[in-house]
Amino acid sequence: MSYQKKALRTEPSYEAPQSRLNNPSTTRLVHAAMGLQTEAGELTDALKRHIFYGKELDRTNLKEEAGDLCWYLAILAEELGTTLEELQELNIKKLQARFPNKFTEEDATTRDLETERQVLEELPERFF
C-alpha cells in the first residue's frame, strides 16, 4: 500500500467540520487566524532573508508586519468579545503568575497551568 493510501486512511469526514465552518463567527475567527499566520510568515521571511541571505534588515518592513499582525488581532479580539487592551492585561497577569519575580528557566519549565487558567478566567478591569 502506498504512503498516500495509508495516510488517507486516517482522513476524517468533512461533513461536521463543514457545518461548523458555515458560521459567520467561526469564519471571522478563521480569517483572523489565517491572517496572523501569513503575517507572522512575512515577518519571519524578512528575518530569514536578513540572517541567511545577508539582506539588510528592514525595520520599517518589520514594523509594517507587526502592524498587520495587530490588524488581525483586532478582528480576533472583536470576535471574542474583548479588546486588545484586555488581552494585553490578561497576558501580563498570566506572565505575573508564571514568573512571580522575573524570568527563570525553572519557572518556564515547571508551569502551574491550573493557576494560569484561573488568572485568565478572571475578568480584568476594563479600561473604558
Distance, CA of 119 to CA of 90 (rounded, Å): 8
Distance, CA of 35 to CA of 79 (rounded, Å): 14
Least distance from C-beta 38 to Mg ion, angstroms? 7
State yes or no: residue 40 binds Mg ion (CB under 5 A).
no
Tell me the window of 7-15, 68-76, 89-97, 106-114 that interacts with Mg ion (CB under 5 A): 68-76
- Residues 40, 68, 80, 93: which binds Mg ion (CB under 5 A)? 68
Residue 72's Cβ-side half-sphere holds a number of Cα atoms within 13 Å equal to: 17
Tell me the window of 4-12, 29-37, 42-50, 77-85 that interacts with Mg ion (CB under 5 A): 42-50
Distance, CA of 101 to CA of 13 (rounded, Å): 48
State yes or no: residue 42 binds Mg ion (CB under 5 A).
yes
**Max alpha carbon distance in the chain (Å)?**
61
- Enumerate binding residues for Mg ion (CB under 5 A): 39, 42, 65, 68
